[in-house]
């Protein structure tokens, strides 16, 4: 069976896209899935560097941690993005694809191959503007924005190629730092927009210092016990968010191959 492809994409930076992609890949690998990952951001290489740091820690300290097969795409190597994704997917159950915070041909190809497209956004109207323009007085959606149109085109390309659909998931990150009225307005606008352009909304990861602290060693929230570090209350809460995020993706059952739950 072909590897299930999860693409993390958002043209706006600072949404926690790469952090979410890494944690998703490692969490699925920890559950016994054969996970591969590819970083299409040849400049920042956050996902690639994160997993390289992880491999270096495992070698240096002799610890055994789940580690997805991974690479950072290099267009100068002369390989097409399709061929590199296919090569990584060949021996995997799941391929996680992290994209740069910009629009380019490689990102569009990746989205058009996605089974699940994850768009993390900070819970604000600034980020919401990426996918829908909001009336400043009523806070109602005026019309979908350019990114929604890009996804629409990618979905049409996927349907034309093999008849499959792209499950678009909008991930609401950093919920806790907004006052309640603004949260309600953003939630209402997202609910309205989701019906118009066809995406699901699930909760993501809160803003926590721990994510920035873990990066240099390539660790995730799931690894603290393996390295002998006790988890504080913030870590426990963050792990709960991660579990909820993975459940919200509604990935196929690895044993039965059933489609995503309704």
Domains observed in the chain: 4-249 (3.40.50.300)
| pTM recorded for the entire structure | 0.91
Between CA 106 and CA 116, with CA 110 as vertex, the angle to 5 degrees is 155
* Higher per-residue confidence, 21 vs 221: 21
Residue 260, pLDDT score = 46
> Could you tell me if 166 and 158 are in contact, meaning their C-beta atoms sit under 8 angstroms apart?
yes
Average pLDDT on 233-239 reads 76
Among 18-22, 32-36, 238-242, the least confident range: 238-242
Query: pLDDT category, 32, cuts 50, 70, 90?
Result: very high
Containing H/E element for 119? strand 116-122
Average pLDDT over residues 229-248: 81
First-last CA distance in the chain: 21
Which of these, 46, 101, 45, 96, lies nearest to 69 by C-alpha position?
A: 96
Helix/strand/coil for 214: helix
pLDDT in tens, 60-97: 999 999 999 999 999 889 999 999 999 999 999 999 99
Instruction: Give pLDDT, residue 262.
Output: 32
Collapsed DSSP state (helix, strand, coil) of residue 220: coil
């Amino acid at each position: 069976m072909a590897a299930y492809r999860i693409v993390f994409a958002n043209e706006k930076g600072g949404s926690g896209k790469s952090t979410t992609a890494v944690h998703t890949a490692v969490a699925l690998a920890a559950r016994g899935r054969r996970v591969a990952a590819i970083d299409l951001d040849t400049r920042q290489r956050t996902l690639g560097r994160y997993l390289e740091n992880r491999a270096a820690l495992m070698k240096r300290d002799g610890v055994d941690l789940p580690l997805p097969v991974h690479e950072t795409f290099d267009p100068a190597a002369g390989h097409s993005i399709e061929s590199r994704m296919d090569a990584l997917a060949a021996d995997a159950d799941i391929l996680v694809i992290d994209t740069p915070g910009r629009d380019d041909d490689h990102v569009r190809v990746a989205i058009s191959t996605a089974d699940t497209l994850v768009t993390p956004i900070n819970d604000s109207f600034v980020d919401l503007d990426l996918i829908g323009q909001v009336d400043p007085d009523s806070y109602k959606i005026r019309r979908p924005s350019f990114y929604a149109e890009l996804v629409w085109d990618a979905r049409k390309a996927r349907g034309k190629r093999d008849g499959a659909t792209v499950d678009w998931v909008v991930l609401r990150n950093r919920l806790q730092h907004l006052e309640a009225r603004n949260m309600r307005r953003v939630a209402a606008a997202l609910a309205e927009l989701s019906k118009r352009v066809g995406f699901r909304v699930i909760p993501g990861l809160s803003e926590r210092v721990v994510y920035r602290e873990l990066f240099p060693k390539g660790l995730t929230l799931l690894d603290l016990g393996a390295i002998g570090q006790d988890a504080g209350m913030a870590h426990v809460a963050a792990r709960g968010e991660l579990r909820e995020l993975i459940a919200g993706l509604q990935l196929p059952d690895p044993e039965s191959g059933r489609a995503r739950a309704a």
